[in-house]
Amino acid sequence: MNEVIQVALGAAVGAPLRYLVDRAIPRPSGFPWGTLVVNVVGSFVLGVVLGVGQLQALLGIGLCGALTTYSTFSYETLVLVEQGQRWRALGNVAVSVLAGVGAFWGGLALT
């Protein structure tokens, strides 16, 4: 299948999946758990996909690329800072980056 179509199909599923996960996960004290979860899970899945070496355009660039997000992560961090919740903002950044990198590594190591 054409790579462009694969990317489009993967993103057509990945982006709404992110939206639905974010809506399903509660936000105690406004902490953006939904985005953190999709970013960590998406990084893990990308590790598996790249480790297996199959369907990289569909599942890697399309699905995982659209499931995860940097713009919402940054915006939600800024909102925490503007609300005066600096430690939560710092926690969001630290946990997202460390858990995301670790999850990708784990996914890759699994294959």
Which residues of this protein are in contact with other proteins, per CB under 8 A? 3-4, 7-8, 10-16, 18-20, 39, 42-43, 45-47, 50, 57, 60-62, 64-75, 77-78, 93, 96-97, 100-101, 103-105, 108
Nearest-approach distance from CB 97 to other proteins, in angstroms: 7
Q: Which of residues 4 and 110 has its CB atom nearest to other proteins in the complex? A: 4
Burial class from Cβ neighbours inside 10 Å (0-12, 13-18, 19+) for residue 21 reads middle
Give me the torsion for CA of 34, 36, 41, 42, rounded to 10°: 100
Query: From CA 106, how far away is CA 85, in angstroms rounded?
Result: 31
CB atoms within 10 A of CB 71: 8
Q: Which of residues 12 and 28 has its CB atom nearest to other proteins in the complex? A: 12
Nearest-approach distance from CB 29 to other proteins, in angstroms: 20
